[in-house]
Amino acid sequence: MSMELRKPIMFVGMALLLVMVGVFQSWSLALTIVNLCIISAIMAMGVNMQWGYAGLFNAGVMGFAALGGLAAIVIGMPPVQETWQAGGGGILATVAVVAVTVGAVLLLRRRFKGNKPVRTFGIAAIIIVGYFVARAFFMPAVDAIESIEPAKTGYLGGLGLPILLSWIVGGVMAACAAWIVGKVALGLRSDYLAIATLGISEIIIAILKNEEWLTRGVKNVNGLPRPTPYEVDLQQEPWVLDLVEKYGLSAIELSSIIVKVCYAGLFLAVLLILLFLAERALHSPWGRMMRAIRDNETAANAMGKDVTGRHLEVFILGSAVIGIAGAMLVTLDGQFTPTSYQPLRFTFLIWVMVIVGGAGNNFGAIMGGFVVWFTWIQAEPVGAWFLDTTTAFLAADDPLRLHLIEGAAYMRPITMGVVLLLVLRFAPKGLIPEQTWHR
Amino acid sequence: MEDILNAFVLLSNFVLIPALAYGSQLALGALGVTLVYGILRFSNFAHGEIMSFGAMSAILVMWGFQASGVSIAPLPTVLLALPFGILATIAMLLIVDRSVFRYYRKKRAAPVILLIASAGVMFFLNGLVRFIIGPDDQRVVDGERFIIRVREFKQMTGLDQGLALKTSQGISVLAAIVCVGLLFWFLNHTRSGKSMRAYSDNEDLALLSGVNPDRVVLYAWILAGSLAAIAGTLYGLDKSYKPFTFLQLLLPIFAAAIVGGIGSPIGATVGGFVIAFSEVTVTYAYKRFLAYMVPDSWAPEGLAQLLSTDYKFAVSFMILVIVLIVRPTGIFSGKTL
């Protein structure tokens, strides 16, 4: 089948699948799946920039997505006045001390380039002093903040800005984290980036779980403001009531569908903008250089291309896209739950999407996001049904049968592992392979 | 004088002994990673789940022994089951190698493709382990729990501070010494071990000298599987077996292997202890220790803890970052860039 035909056929097929969910299960469920499919597709696009364009293995997708989620709180939630008065000054002072420490270290590095012992001990001394000074401001401030109505607030809140802004800020925050990791691990052997990103993502999650003054930790932040109307308000609107009468749906169901359609529209807009930019970048001289570096680093280096610099660029860009998707996900959920960030779901599942979809091709990454998320959602009911029918010959209370049915939830990672291995082996180019002709 | 002794006992009880036991477990894990890296030339992301699989197999056999009343008290029954766990892990790894890794090896695929394949294996094993044994906590310890009890130690020495040495900790350290000893003997003094080292150093030269690559790879998986099963079981014995912890152990294990110099067995051993000791010393609250060591008026008000235990991953990460910046080849100069 020619490439030109394959792409539209696949997208139409996917759309048909989603319509079937709407018809046979429910439209509300179909829209929920669509929304998460779009977010997954954006994350997969981010990973695809890193892996598909440049061959960088990022094992910390989860951390960058979680940073985006943090942005949703910091931007969207209203500030909590009491906690700002109690500990805001201390936190700002801590930030200032950390900034001064980092500045001093950088200055020292520059000034004492030749003098290694002075540089090493000087940096160590500055960091130790900075740590204790920062701690002296930080600890009392945190205690003060966390003691104010811990059941309701106990954190600083956010800036109270429109939550849509957090999608951009989430991207910027993820980009900053990526810059740090990239500076350390890029330019070394490829495995080191994988391990460094794995590490930073675990640390980001640990911070989000434990720094209650910032994120309320495991107590979660609920009720984030929405960029879309609320169901309750919609149910009062005359035009909605008209539709209710016309189609005989319940007002509750219709309003929830309208809200989901609004989200889907917003997400689709982001997806299309990012897709446009990513396609333009891929087909520009920059994109060709990227692929040249990926396919033969030594040759590209000999041609005078700054391999590490370009890698850093694309790594930051990809992480920013993941951060945007992370902020969108938290906006959709309306709550921030640090415990929900699991590496299998947020890192390796996204990888499966990119590999299955077709590394190096933006449409492939999007396709992979849709297909894999759909499979991930449907694997559990299908797995449960499969186990139920295959063990039907056993008695209903047979311990083996009960154990198998209980384990149906774990059919998901098993299926995904098998899918990843099969695609990698038998169709390494994925559903929509990379296009290599020149334009 | 007694204060200093008390302080020393306190530090041994809460820092030295736990770090030694944890370091032994990490060293065994890192040795497996480093061996696979040296011979098969990729970072095996599935290693944590392989450890989990090994521990699970041992636990399943242990339940069988417990049910039929076989025991080696005062030692924990799981030790008797461990050889079966090791065999199961090796068998599983050989099947995985035959069905997944061999293809890419023959094709001479880039290391990062093998890395992704290992992530697929990780996914699969992660689900499989939970499918078989469930996601819950499993108690592994039975038999005599302590070698030295706090109360006995206090009576024996007359100090205020007690010292406890858990059986699991003693076994961990002992097992690490035996395994590392055996491994180095194998690598340095047997023909097969030497061929492994030759293959790791220079593949082409080793092949020219008549080293059979399939055999070397087979040995590597057997060794990595045994070490992983032992490390996983010991970790489970020491802390209790939870399937989800093994994914988190991946970071300290890789940090240990890289800090020591990836591909270098001695480096992995040392790296394991470096990571374990840094993790425990940085997250320990020194309040009581300082109370013994300094005059009363100087005693700290807070816990005197550098970093909360929730951030113990950050310690391995920081060490990893420092090593990558200062000396990317690791302490013992493993494989270069």
Last residue of a domain, one of A102, A124, A156: A156
Same domain? For A148 and A178 the reply is no
pLDDT at B23 over 90: yes
pLDDT of residue B336: 42
Of A84, A93, A66, which Cα lies nearest the Cα of A221?
A66
Q: Answer yes or no: is A332 within a domain.
A: yes
Confidence of residue A327 (pLDDT cuts 50, 70, 90): very high
Q: How far is A424 from chain B (nearest CA, A)?
A: 7
pLDDT tens, position by position, A273-312:
999 999 999 889 998 888 888 888 888 888 888 888 999 9
Asked if the Cβ–Cβ distance from B123 to A413 is below 8 Å, we say yes
Q: Is B247 on the interface with A (CB under 8 A)?
A: yes
Which chain B residue's Cα is nearest to A404?
A: B131
Residue to substitute from B92, B115, B116, interface A, most A β-carbons within 10 A: B116
Q: Is B116 on the interface with A (CB under 8 A)?
A: yes
Q: Which fold has domain B2-326?
A: ABC transporter involved in vitamin B12 uptake, BtuC (1.10.3470)
Same domain? For A123 and A261 the reply is no
Contacts of A184 in chain B (CB under 8 A): 321, 324-325
User: What domain range includes position A64?
Assistant: 39-77+159-341
pLDDT at B87 over 90: yes
Of B15, B76, B94, B28, which Cα lies nearest the Cα of B235?
B28
Asked if the Cβ–Cβ distance from A55 to B128 is below 8 Å, we say no
Q: Answer yes or no: is A8 within a domain.
A: no
Domain segments of chain B as ranges: 2-326
Q: What share of chain B in percent tops pLDDT 70?
A: 97
Confidence of residue B186 (pLDDT cuts 50, 70, 90): very high
Asked if the Cβ–Cβ distance from B127 to A412 is below 8 Å, we say yes
N-to-C CA span, chain A: 21
Measured distance CA(B69)–CA(B63) in Å, rounded: 10
Confidence of residue A179 (pLDDT cuts 50, 70, 90): very high
Q: Name residue A79's beta-bridge partners.
A: A157
Select the residue of A57, A184, A409 nearest B112 (Cβ to Cβ): A57
pLDDT at B190 over 60: yes
Select the residue of B121, B122, B258 nearest A195 (Cβ to Cβ): B258
Contacts of A308 in chain B (CB under 8 A): none
pLDDT tens, position by position, A400-411:
777 777 777 787
- Listed range (A165-169, A312-316, A336-340, B221-225) with the worst mean pLDDT: A336-340
Cα–Cα separations (whole angstroms), residue B68 to B57, B62, B78, B140: 17, 10, 14, 16
Q: Answer yes or no: is A28 within a domain.
A: no
Asked if the Cβ–Cβ distance from B314 to A206 is below 8 Å, we say yes
Rg (CA), chain A: 25
- The residues in A 151-210 lying below 8 A from B, measured between CB atoms, are 184-185, 188-192, 194-196, 198-200, 202-203, 206-207, 209-210
pLDDT at B179 over 90: yes
Same domain? For A317 and A419 the reply is no
Q: Answer yes or no: is A11 within a domain.
A: no
Contacts of A344 in chain B (CB under 8 A): 123, 126, 247
- Listed range (A274-283, A308-317, A387-396, B226-235) with the worst mean pLDDT: A387-396
Q: How far is A300 from chain B (nearest CA, A)?
A: 18
Asked if the Cβ–Cβ distance from A206 to B313 is below 8 Å, we say yes
Same domain? For A108 and A63 the reply is no
Residue to substitute from B40, B60, B126, interface A, most A β-carbons within 10 A: B126
pLDDT of residue B337: 36
> Tokens 């592994």 — which residue?
B140
Q: How far is A376 from chain B (nearest CA, A)?
A: 13
Residue to substitute from B324, B325, B335, B336, interface A, most A β-carbons within 10 A: B324
pLDDT at A150 over 90: no
Q: How far is B157 from chain A (nearest CA, A)?
A: 38
Positive/negative CA dihedral, B332, B188, B173, B2: negative
List alpha helices for chain B, DSSP H.
2-11, 17-40, 47-67, 78-96, 102-107, 111-133, 150-157, 167-189, 191-201, 203-208, 213-239, 245-260, 265-283, 287-293, 312-326
Contacts of A421 in chain B (CB under 8 A): 100, 117, 120-121, 124
Q: Is A59 on the interface with B (CB under 8 A)?
A: yes
Which chain B residue's Cα is nearest to A51?
A: B112
Same domain? For A315 and A327 the reply is yes
pLDDT of residue A439: 46
Same domain? For A101 and A120 the reply is yes
Average pLDDT, chain B: 87
Q: Is B322 on the interface with A (CB under 8 A)?
A: no
Last residue of a domain, one of A156, A183, A213: A156
Q: Answer yes or no: is A63 within a domain.
A: yes
Same domain? For A187 and A324 the reply is yes
Average confidence (pLDDT) over A178-188: 86
Contacts of B119 in chain A (CB under 8 A): 59, 348, 351, 420
Q: Is A355 on the interface with B (CB under 8 A)?
A: yes
- A419: number of CA atoms within 13 Å, CB side? 25
pLDDT of residue B253: 94
Asked if the Cβ–Cβ distance from A414 to B302 is below 8 Å, we say no
Q: How far is A273 from chain B (nearest CA, A)?
A: 30
Measured distance CA(B258)–CA(B278) in Å, rounded: 15
Which chain A residue's Cα is nearest to B37?
A: A191
pLDDT of residue B230: 95
Confidence of residue B97 (pLDDT cuts 50, 70, 90): very high
- The residues in A 133-162 lying below 8 A from B, measured between CB atoms, are 139
3-state secondary structure of B241: strand
pLDDT at B206 over 60: yes
pLDDT tens, position by position, B1-21:
778 888 888 888 888 999 999
pLDDT of residue A10: 87
Q: How far is CA A93 from the centre of its chain?
A: 31
Asked if the Cβ–Cβ distance from A195 to B124 is below 8 Å, we say no
pLDDT tens, position by position, A29-85:
889 999 999 999 999 999 999 998 888 889 889 999 999 999 998 898 888 888 888
Q: State both tokens at B276.
A: 């374990």
Select the residue of B112, B115, B251 nearest A202 (Cβ to Cβ): B251
pLDDT at A1 over 60: no
Which chain A residue's Cα is nearest to B336?
A: A189
Same domain? For A180 and A276 the reply is yes
pLDDT tens, position by position, B129-161:
998 888 888 888 887 778 888 788 888 887 777
Measured distance CA(B54)–CA(B59) in Å, rounded: 9
Same domain? For A315 and A195 the reply is yes
3-state secondary structure of B138: strand
pLDDT tens, position by position, A89-100:
888 899 999 999
Average confidence (pLDDT) over A105-118: 80
Confidence of residue B334 (pLDDT cuts 50, 70, 90): low
Q: How far is A5 from chain B (nearest CA, A)?
A: 29
Q: Answer yes or no: is A433 within a domain.
A: yes
pLDDT of residue A267: 95
Confidence of residue A2 (pLDDT cuts 50, 70, 90): low
Last residue of a domain, one of A317, A341, A365: A341
Asked if the Cβ–Cβ distance from B127 to A203 is below 8 Å, we say no
Contacts of B262 in chain A (CB under 8 A): 191
Asked if the Cβ–Cβ distance from B313 to A421 is below 8 Å, we say no
- The residues in B 209-228 lying below 8 A from A, measured between CB atoms, are none
pLDDT at A246 over 60: yes
Q: How far is A194 from chain B (nearest CA, A)?
A: 9
Asked if the bond preceding A285 is cis, omega within 30° of 0, the reply is no
Q: How far is A250 from chain B (nearest CA, A)?
A: 40
Which chain A residue's Cα is nearest to B258?
A: A192
Same domain? For A194 and A295 the reply is yes
Same domain? For A87 and A56 the reply is no
Average confidence (pLDDT) over B305-319: 82
Q: Is B115 on the interface with A (CB under 8 A)?
A: yes
Which chain A residue's Cα is nearest to B131?
A: A407
pLDDT at B93 over 60: yes
The more confident residue out of A9 and A218 is A9
Q: How far is B130 from chain A (nearest CA, A)?
A: 7
Q: How far is B310 from chain A (nearest CA, A)?
A: 7
- Domain count along chain A: 3
Same domain? For A119 and A170 the reply is no
pLDDT tens, position by position, A328-346:
999 998 888 888 888 888 8
Of B135, B331, B77, B18, which Cα lies nearest the Cα of A408?
B135
Which chain A residue's Cα is nearest to B314?
A: A203
pLDDT of residue B30: 94
pLDDT tens, position by position, B245-303:
888 888 899 999 988 888 888 889 999 999 999 999 988 888 778 777 777 777 666 77
pLDDT tens, position by position, B33-58:
999 998 888 889 999 999 999 999 99
Tell me the Ramachandran region of residue A178: left when phi exceeds 0, alpha when psi lies from -120 to 50, beta otherwise: alpha
Q: Please give the single-letter amino acid code of residue A262.
A: C
